[in-house]
Structure 1
Amino acid sequence: MSREIVLDTETTGIETREGHRVIEIAAIELFNLLPTGRFYHVTINPERDIPADATRIHGFTNADVEKSPLFAAVVDPWLEFMGDAPIIAHNAPFDFGHLDAELKRLGRPPLNPALMIDSLALAKKRFPGMPNSLDALCRRFDIDLSERTTHNALLDVKLLAKVYLELRGGRQPGLVLTSNASGEVLVTEERKERSLLPILVPPEREEAHKAFLAKIKDPIWLREAG
């Protein structure tokens, strides 16, 4: 029984030392590898411009976030949601680096690196030498990518949760995920009608078996059959 958090961020750029900031945080709660329905999602005013190159990747423009709260206003509810659960992210050092930079600006301690689970590292270990982007993994695991036109963090964490389940070997054929009235995720097994097939023994094998039994004194197989 374990709680984990799948996390993703979008930013104004790659390097924190160049002043790039977080503009979106999305996180969903897992329990025993399955989404519980609880999530945290917020867009953030980065207090700087969003370069066109970044907009082409995630789709956010300055106008999209100019009325969003500052990181200082969302940090406490975000950290409360995260708790002390392990944090799964794809290329996790990138997300941790940007979030730690935001925390440092507020004089807050960084995220605990011991909680980091890098799904990209897990994928590289399982599929060495193969493409292991989130898109590539979704295609490999036959996960629907039709809604992913940009790198939206909320959609990405939903996809990553499915990928992480696959990487951990959690999904099995015949298992169906459902929810009850309380929102709790349940696992039920899809039942299929099965018919028993007779075991056909070739005549030569049957004769060989009889010859073998003839060599044994009072064989138990014959006693049970009688």
Structure 2
Amino acid sequence: MKRTILFDTETTGLDPLKGDRVIEIAALELVGDLPTGRNFHVLIDPERDVPEEASRVHGFTRADLEGKPKFAEVAAGFLEFVGNDPLIAHNARFDFGFLNAELARAKQPVLDMGRMVDTLDMARERFPGMPNSLDALCRRFSIDLSERTTHNALLDCKLLAAVYLELTGGRQRGLSLAVEEGGGGIATYEYTRPAGLAGVCVKPDAAEIAAHQAFVEKLPDALWAD
């Protein structure tokens, strides 16, 4: 199945060309568009101050980052984790711009923009003219935001993974379509219930059965009529 990497960064500001630096990287491995549980997460010493306005967004201060590795020390591990697979992010040009500035500074290969999958572009195409921030999309898809008090990169990745699944059609783990090679026939469906998920048996009561029967009797030539 297809492997992709969903990632997010937190930074000291908005412009790497003006000296702003990456302070946090989080990345999740997806296989078949669903998280596998493998992730890459690191806090980084930006080698500069962290402005108060930035701290209000992500919650990190300069003191929080003292003693953390510098970007050059984590760059190789990040590149190994992401491999050559597509890279998904929300407002991905921002994250690509910062990471490529850091990678160039560390004399490491930069990320090919052709690998970029931007969920903001996807959301704007699906919901034109509507708010399409990560918060707005979580609310639209009824994804729990209760833990998101600041823009923590790892939590944002987990939320974005749920948003991405919705943007790509809400596909379910274990659901596959298979057609025998050369058969040209109708696809067959195989579903494996995820571990720990119990089946639910729903039985209508007498009133519900009577209401259904009354509804069916109003339909002309109903195929499922008794």
**Does TM, normalized by the shorter one, top 0.5?**
yes
Which TM-score applies when normalising by structure 1? 0.79
In structure 1, the residue matched to 2:201 is: 193
Name the SS for the 1:143 alignment partner: coil
The alpha carbon displacement at 1:170 in A equals 2.3
Following TM superposition, by how much is the alpha carbon of 1:107 offset from its aligned partner in structure 2, in angstroms? 2.2
Residues 149 and 195 of structure 1: CA distance in aligned 2, closer, same or farther (over 3 Å): closer
Q: Helix, strand or coil for the counterpart of 1:14?
A: coil
Work out whether residues 25 and 42 of structure 1, in 8 Å CA contact, stay in contact via their aligned partners in 2. yes
What's the counterpart of residue 58 of structure 2?
58
Q: For residues 103 and 186 of structure 1, do their structure 2 counterparts lie closer, same or farther at Cα, with a shift above 3 Å needed?
A: farther
RMSD across aligned C-alpha pairs, in angstroms?
Answer: 2.6
What is the CA distance between 1:193 and its match in structure 2? 2.9
Deviations, residues 73-128 of structure 1 (Å, cap 9, x unaligned): 10111111111111110000000000000011122221011110000000010000
Q: How far apart are residue 156 of structure 1 and its match? A: 0.4
Counterpart position of 1:74? 74
| Most deviating of 194-203 and 58-67 | 194-203
Q: Which residue does 1:118 correspond to in 2?
A: 118
2:18 match: 18
Q: State the match for 1:134 in structure 2.
A: 134
How far has the Cα of 1:194 moved from its partner?
5.5
Aligned-partner Cα distance in 1 for 2:194–2:65: 39
CA contact (8 A) 2:91 2:118 kept: yes
For residue 156 of structure 2, what is the amino acid of its counterpart?
D
**Structure 2 unpaired stretches of 5+:** 175-191, 222-226
> What is the Cα deviation at residue 66 of structure 1?
1.3
Q: Is the 8 A contact 1:33 1:170 kept in 2?
A: no
Pair 1:167 & 2:167 matched: yes
Deviation (angstroms), 1:171: 4.2
Contact between 2:71 and 2:106, CA under 8 Å: does it hold in 1?
no
- AA matched with 2:201: E
Q: Give the letter aligned to residue 23 of structure 2.
A: I
Distance 2:127 2:217 in 1: 44
SS of residue paired to 2:35: strand
Structure number with larger C-alpha Rg: 1
Rounded Cα–Cα distance in structure 2 between residues aligned with 1:27 and 1:128 = 28
Residue 35 of structure 1: SS of its match in structure 2? Answer: strand
User: What are the Cα deviations for residues 129-162 of structure 1, in whole angstroms up to 9, with x where unaligned?
Assistant: 0000000000111011000000000100000000
Deviation at 1:202, TM superposition (A): 5.0
Q: Deviations over 1:169-197 (max 9, x none)?
A: 1246xx89xxxxxxxx9747764435696
